[in-house]
Chain A
Amino acid sequence: MFNKILIANRGEIACRVIKTARKMGIATVAVYSEADRNALHVEMADEAVHIGPAPASQSYIVIDKVMEAVRASGAQAVHPGYGFLAENAKFAEALAAEGVAFVGPPKGAIEAMGDKITSKKIAQEAGVSTVPGYMGIIADADEAVKIANEIGYPVMIKASAGGGGKGMRIAWNDAEAREGFQSSKNEAASSFGDDRIFVEKFITQPRHIEIQVLCDTHGNGIYLGERECSIQRRNQKVVEEAPSPFLDEETRRAMGEQAVALAQAVGYTNAGTVEFIVDGDKNFYFLEMNTRLQVEHPITELITGIDLVEQMIRVANGEELSMTQDDVKLTGWAIENRLYAEDPYRSFLPSIGRLTRYRPPQEIAAGPLADSGKWQGDAPKGTEAVRNDTGVYEGGEISMYYDPMIAKLCTWAPTRAEAIEAMRVALDSFEVEGIGHNLPFLSAVMDNPVFVAGEMTTAFIEEQYPDGFEGVDLPEPDLRRIAAAAAAMHRVAEIRRARVSGRMDNHERKVGRDWVVSLQGQRFEAEVNADHDGATVKFADGAVQRVVSDWTPGDKLAVLDVDGRQLVLKVGKISGGFRLRSRGADLEVHVRTPRQAELAALMPEKIAADTSKQLICPMPGLIVKIDVEPGDEVEEGQALCTIEAMKMENILRAERKGVVSVINASPGDSLAVDEIIMEFE
């Protein structure tokens, strides 16, 4: 076995690989850019080599710099992670030239699968199902109909030069094919000046399902089941699960066998993933092969009990696979949610900054991976697993230079429903502050009925959230549970307040039992009767809920048991109540005495005043940079300009959404306090 391995990557995947290497007794070497000097992977590795400035183009993907680090550290193998140099044949070649093992497939396989047309040809030759179509140019409508019949309806008639839906028609029968051919041709001619048309199978209700394969250098190849990755946003996967709720055993085996056949056809070794598109009738077609470890590999590990990184390192070391296809058992259900540093309320714009709070849920080891002894780390054992692969820490900085994914939260449970429920709780317990993040969106997806039913397609996000994500409105039963919790928590906080020193003896404040809780436009009258273990909350309509919790004032996370079911709330303070976040909802919850509520009802609803149409210079200083132009639409929090004062750069940001109308200053200008820098429409 190798003595030392270098990980040519950063972030969570570098940390992930280091964990397995450490478990195998292999010393680890991290590489890092200027921006990653204090990164977690650098701290975790046994040694670390600095390889250049922050941009990846000047550090992580510069082969020469990584090679220098390999030489300097004396590493015998390199794990490339995913992205960066993972599918770079030249890098594999450079390593081979120096006798260093590449923990990945041979150069030839990378090259063969790296080209879409070549890979499709190889797939067809290997007997792998590909999207049926006619690649040649079609002469006339008759030919189009003939080909459409050969392929089988529905078909997609496409302009060769097409794009953006132009020159594209879907046909379900001969008449539509004839008509579609003509209109596509006309449209293509007028739009692109190129009227060449081709036809391929139209995939209805497409799902993205991929097969994990593992091949050694001794000619053995196996598949480790599938992963369902249909929930994507702009081709970026967001939620994955294994197995797929859609596949049956027969389809799974057919896909798996074809995937292995393809891998062996190109002399593939090590771990790889064959991506398929699957239609509503379970027809599957080869899409592409990823010649690396996938981001979402943990869900496969969770249902198979196999440490894929360990297998990769063993294969790279020339070992024979220690298991056969028959040994591979899929047990239970695993779900992965990707936590991105992006603001779901602002069309998922990347968000950067300091992680002032980062508290992932407690990891719990369970399922095949725990049973096989391959679980990484020292999580306590349980019946449902929680795993969080991360590369960040509280107090760390999310920089603009790299992928905005900061963690992969996975749960495993015996059934899909249990795995989803475990994920809901885990998401509710995940505390992230300081940057925008997609936790509320992930929570929303976990409660989405289409997802819960397992009926998602690759159009899931577009169809379910056509206008973007605007937060979650919780149903009444959930609100009631939260209201019960808030009333009980408020009572605890008020009793503590009433225990301040300096009270008038015998004239202390008596904290009452009756409270009015208002949240999300609803109002609940609650009578709270506390005892040693918790509180019984009785609502005006007679319903009773039992709240048990060890929450104390100031705790930012409340783990409660409401009527026998767990409720996890992120708790913030607002005047007269709490800001509670749960299940993707962000609630301002007021808890008042009946009299306070009566008087609060008299307060006018305030319309957010449009107080500022101007950006005022807050300090005397020098304009260094103006980030916007007249006519630009700006979002709240967007950087508008940078002012240098006291030798420090201060970024001025938009206080609200608006359109820039006039800019009165330019870089280099010296401004006094209160000068108007720009105005908004």
Chain B
Amino acid sequence: MKEILDQLEDRRADARLGGGQSRVDAQHARGKLTARERIELLLDEDSFEEFDMFVAHRCTDFGMEKQRPYGDGVVTGWGTINGRMVYVFSQDFTVFGGSLSETHAEKICKIMDMAVQNGAPVIGINDSGGARIQEGVASLAGYAEVFQRNIMASGVVPQISLIMGPCAGGAVYSPAMTDFIFMVKDTSYMFVTGPDVVKTVTNEVVTAEELGGASTHTQKSSVADGAFENDVEALAEVRRLVDFLPLNNRDKAPVRPFFDEPGRIEPSLDTLIPANANTPYDMKELIEKVADEGDFYEIQENFAKNIITGFIRLEGRTVGVVANQPMVLAGCLDNDSSRKAARFVRFCDAFEIPILTFVDVPGFLPGTGQEHGGVIKHGAKLLFAYGEATVPKVTVITRKAYGGAYDVMASKHLRGDFNYAWPTAEIAVMGAKGATEIIHRADLADPEKIARHTEDYEKRFANPFVAAERGFIDEVIQPRSTRRRVSRAFASLRNKKLSNPWKKHDNIPL
């Protein structure tokens, strides 16, 4: 009997070795951890429960039948992050370069099906050379099976992708459809066609890093939501993100004990807005001073920096933050910032995460670049996302809220629950000078008159009270008490119930 039991342990040991010690060493030499080491760091100690450890491929072409390692290049299962359940798959580059076979795909599909059924996030660790060429169309079918599950799981359970090695060709479309993609600097890349094909087709010479490295995808393409220095940091930070997220779309966002007074007053916020209306200031200071313990998990930090998106907690509860950043492009809306914020708002709405919006927006960025790039439709995405969102929405206008951008930024008119303004807020169609030049076109030749008209306009409209008179602003608040006001607003909305009319799905201007 003991022999039989021992045999299991031998087989397990065999499976755990993946592609063998020399390949494990090679993986380490590249600065990368193995599939199992990554799972160890991602999950709570000793919490991993593996599935399909002994699965092997069924390919019999090209002599593949002679090599049938256990696991087939991917480790799958479930475990916990701070005691909360997640499903995980981790591709094993030491086994056939982590390439995706029919059985490899089946393993991933199995845990994805379970994740949807049991309501827990899926975290995919990607480190794969691509399709298992030897399997041909069976491998492609495998990808498509995974894609279909990504689509079905979208909006049901959070899906997080970690790119920790190559991810090329069709393989990119699985992470592409997940909620968040994180990359590791210098050791990961993603592209549909690699540098060789690019060179053949377009004569363009480009390195893999330039084409699809972490900096490309976090700064230029916006494919990735963040990048980290190495595997250890990436896995630790994904754990930190999971702490903010609900397990599924029927679950409330998690609550954790907090050590920060919800009524904390921050006198320094009274001087955040500079005396000169054209001087920028750092909106992140406001976010960090409002958040519990100054803890802010930023999403897409290095892309479209004129808008800030990320998660904070208020009274221990997760809140999604969207904020214009006056430090970059005066905080205006443009194609990139609208898309970035729209996707974030939709994620929050899908998973019942309340949204806090800080507004200081001078308008949409003008120019042919923007118009030809489709600013009409991109801007509409953010407008649509805010308008359809049924989660609690609290908005604070700190300074400018001009024109159409005022409407877009979670205004009262888009079913905003609480719309607060600081006394420094200016809610108007446009800046005083521009408005005067249109209204008093006849006086354009007389700078003195124009100056007087501008002053009159400023007095009348460059404040929050015109909007407050109409009830578009619920209350004008002191900057120093923002945390207290916003915390209480969200507290009052904990039982909010709002639903949209039945529809198969909406038709957001994609």
Q: Which residues of A contact B230 (CB under 8 A)?
A: 603-604, 606
Q: Which of A8-16, A493-501, A532-540 contacts B (4 or more CB under 8 A)?
A: A493-501
Q: Which residues of B contact A620 (CB under 8 A)?
A: 365, 367, 369
Q: Which residues of B contact A355 (CB under 8 A)?
A: 268
Determine which of A356, A393, A503, A602 lies in contact with B84 in the assembled complex, contact meaning CB atoms within 8 Å.
A503
Minimum CB–CB distance for B428 against chain A, Å: 15
Q: Which of A208-216, A418-426, A645-653 contacts B (4 or more CB under 8 A)?
A: A645-653
Q: Which residues of A contact B292 (CB under 8 A)?
A: 554
Contact call A606/B186, Cβ cutoff below 8 A: yes
Contact call B293/A37, Cβ cutoff below 8 A: no
Q: Mark A616-635, 1 if CB is under 8 A from B, else 0.
A: 00111000000000000000
Interface centre among B232, B236, B269 (most CB of A within 10 A): B232
CB within 8 Å of A: which B242-263 residues = 243, 246-247, 251, 254-260
Rounded to whole angstroms, the CA-CA distance of A553 and B82 in the bound complex is 16
Contact call A507/B369, Cβ cutoff below 8 A: no
B450 interface residue per 8 A CB criterion: no
Q: Mark B281-311, 1 if CB is under 8 A from A, else 0.
A: 1100100000011110000000000000000
Contacts A496-B257, A509-B82, A620-B369; is A611 near B229 (CB within 8 Å)?
no
Q: Which of A136-144, A187-195, A394-402 contacts B (4 or more CB under 8 A)?
A: A394-402
Minimum CB–CB distance for A355 against chain B, Å: 8
Q: Which residue of A lies closest to B240 (CB)?
A: A575
CB within 8 Å of A: which B24-69 residues = 28, 31, 33, 37, 40-41, 44-45, 47
Determine which of A356, A501, A649 lies in contact with B256 in the assembled complex, contact meaning CB atoms within 8 Å.
A501
Q: Which residues of A contact B330 (CB under 8 A)?
A: 645-648
Contacts A497-B256, A593-B45; is A611 near B215 (CB within 8 Å)?
yes
Q: Which residues of B contact A604 (CB under 8 A)?
A: 31, 230
Contact call B326/A648, Cβ cutoff below 8 A: yes
Determine which of B85, B236, B275, B332 lies in contact with A646 in the assembled complex, contact meaning CB atoms within 8 Å.
B332
B270 interface residue per 8 A CB criterion: yes
Q: Which residues of A contact B82 (CB under 8 A)?
A: 497-498, 500, 503, 509
B387 interface residue per 8 A CB criterion: no
Q: Which residues of A contact B228 (CB under 8 A)?
A: 575
Q: Which residues of A contact B270 (CB under 8 A)?
A: 395
Contact call B45/A356, Cβ cutoff below 8 A: no
Rounded to whole angstroms, the CA-CA distance of A66 and B490 in the bound complex is 52
Interface centre among B33, B240, B255, B330 (most CB of A within 10 A): B330
Minimum CB–CB distance for A219 against chain B, Å: 50
Q: Which residues of B contact A554 (CB under 8 A)?
A: 258-260, 292-295
Contact call B271/A395, Cβ cutoff below 8 A: yes
Q: Which residues of B contact A556 (CB under 8 A)?
A: 294
Contact call B257/A354, Cβ cutoff below 8 A: no
Interface of B is mostly: loop
Q: Which residues of A contact B260 (CB under 8 A)?
A: 554
Determine which of B28, B237, B269, B362 lies in contact with A395 in the assembled complex, contact meaning CB atoms within 8 Å.
B269
Contact call B83/A552, Cβ cutoff below 8 A: no
CB within 8 Å of A: which B80-121 residues = 80, 82-85
Contacts A395-B269, A611-B215; is A500 near B255 (CB within 8 Å)?
yes
B278 interface residue per 8 A CB criterion: yes
A599 interface residue per 8 A CB criterion: yes
Q: Mark B413-441, 1 if CB is under 8 A from A, else 0.
A: 00000000000000000010000000000
B476 interface residue per 8 A CB criterion: no
Q: Which residue of A lies closest to B246 (CB)?
A: A502
Contacts A395-B269, A650-B280; is A603 near B254 (CB within 8 Å)?
no
Rounded to whole angstroms, the CA-CA distance of A527 and B431 in the bound complex is 61
Contacts A599-B40, A600-B232, A646-B330; is A504 near B80 (CB within 8 Å)?
yes
B279 interface residue per 8 A CB criterion: yes
Rounded to whole angstroms, the CA-CA distance of A520 and B365 in the bound complex is 47
Rounded to whole angstroms, the CA-CA distance of A554 and B44 in the bound complex is 22
Rounded to whole angstroms, the CA-CA distance of A619 and B267 in the bound complex is 33
Contacts A395-B268, A603-B232; is A502 near B84 (CB within 8 Å)?
yes
A329 interface residue per 8 A CB criterion: no
A97 interface residue per 8 A CB criterion: no
Contact call A603/B237, Cβ cutoff below 8 A: no
Q: Which residues of B contact A552 (CB under 8 A)?
A: 259
Contacts A619-B328, A645-B330; is A504 near B83 (CB within 8 Å)?
yes
Rounded to whole angstroms, the CA-CA distance of A554 and B80 in the bound complex is 24
Contact call B41/A603, Cβ cutoff below 8 A: no
Q: Which residues of B contact A357 (CB under 8 A)?
A: 268
Determine which of B31, B41, B365 lies in contact with A596 in the assembled complex, contact meaning CB atoms within 8 Å.
B41
Minimum CB–CB distance for B432 against chain A, Å: 12
Contact call B215/A575, Cβ cutoff below 8 A: no
Contacts A508-B83, A611-B215, A648-B326; is A38 near B271 (CB within 8 Å)?
yes
Q: Which residue of A lies closest to B334 (CB)?
A: A619
A673 interface residue per 8 A CB criterion: yes
Rounded to whole angstroms, the CA-CA distance of A645 and B328 in the bound complex is 9
A280 interface residue per 8 A CB criterion: no
Q: Which residue of B lies closest to A496 (CB)?
A: B257
Rounded to whole angstroms, the CA-CA distance of A177 and B82 in the bound complex is 79
Q: Which residue of B lies closest to A609 (CB)?
A: B186
A595 interface residue per 8 A CB criterion: yes
Q: Mark A546-559, 1 if CB is under 8 A from B, else 0.
A: 00000011111000
Q: Which residue of A lies closest to B33 (CB)?
A: A599
Q: Which residues of B contact A356 (CB under 8 A)?
A: 268, 285
Contacts A502-B247, A576-B236; is A603 near B272 (CB within 8 Å)?
no
Minimum CB–CB distance for A224 against chain B, Å: 38
Contact call B267/A395, Cβ cutoff below 8 A: yes
Interface centre among A356, A395, A593 (most CB of B within 10 A): A395
Q: Which residues of B contact A673 (CB under 8 A)?
A: 369
Contact call A553/B293, Cβ cutoff below 8 A: yes
Contact call A599/B268, Cβ cutoff below 8 A: no
Q: Mark A497-539, 1 if CB is under 8 A from B, else 0.
A: 1111111100111101000000000000000000000000000
Q: Which residue of B lies closest to A357 (CB)?
A: B268
Contacts A395-B267, A650-B280; is A619 near B329 (CB within 8 Å)?
yes
Minimum CB–CB distance for A556 against chain B, Å: 8
Interface centre among A496, A507, A619, A648 (most CB of B within 10 A): A648
B231 interface residue per 8 A CB criterion: yes
Contact call A504/B85, Cβ cutoff below 8 A: yes
A282 interface residue per 8 A CB criterion: no
Contact call B271/A396, Cβ cutoff below 8 A: yes
Minimum CB–CB distance for A533 against chain B, Å: 18
B327 interface residue per 8 A CB criterion: yes
Rounded to whole angstroms, the CA-CA distance of A606 and B40 in the bound complex is 23
Q: Mark B220-234, 1 if CB is under 8 A from A, else 0.
A: 000000001111110
Determine which of A510, A512, A602, A618 lies in contact with B328 in the assembled complex, contact meaning CB atoms within 8 Å.
A618
Contact call A603/B83, Cβ cutoff below 8 A: no
A71 interface residue per 8 A CB criterion: no
Minimum CB–CB distance for A40 against chain B, Å: 12
Q: Which residue of A lies closest to B433 (CB)?
A: A647
A573 interface residue per 8 A CB criterion: yes
CB within 8 Å of B: which A164-217 residues = none
Minimum CB–CB distance for B431 against chain A, Å: 8
Q: Which residues of B contact A619 (CB under 8 A)?
A: 328-329
Contact call A394/B268, Cβ cutoff below 8 A: yes
Q: Which residue of A lies closest to B84 (CB)?
A: A502
Rounded to whole angstroms, the CA-CA distance of A573 and B294 in the bound complex is 10
Contact call B215/A595, Cβ cutoff below 8 A: no
Can you list 20 A-B pairs, Cβ within 8 angstroms, ordered by A? A393-B267, A497-B82, A497-B243, A498-B82, A500-B82, A500-B243, A501-B255, A503-B84, A509-B47, A510-B45, A554-B293, A573-B295, A599-B40, A602-B31, A603-B229, A618-B329, A619-B329, A648-B279, A649-B280, A673-B369
Q: Which residues of B contact A (CB under 8 A)?
A: 28, 31, 33, 37, 40-41, 44-45, 47, 80, 82-85, 185-186, 215, 228-233, 236-237, 240, 243, 246-247, 251, 254-260, 267-272, 275, 278-282, 285, 292-295, 326-330, 332, 362, 365, 367, 369, 431
Which A-B residue pairs are the 6 nearest by beta carbons?
Answer: A554-B293, A395-B268, A503-B83, A646-B330, A552-B259, A604-B31
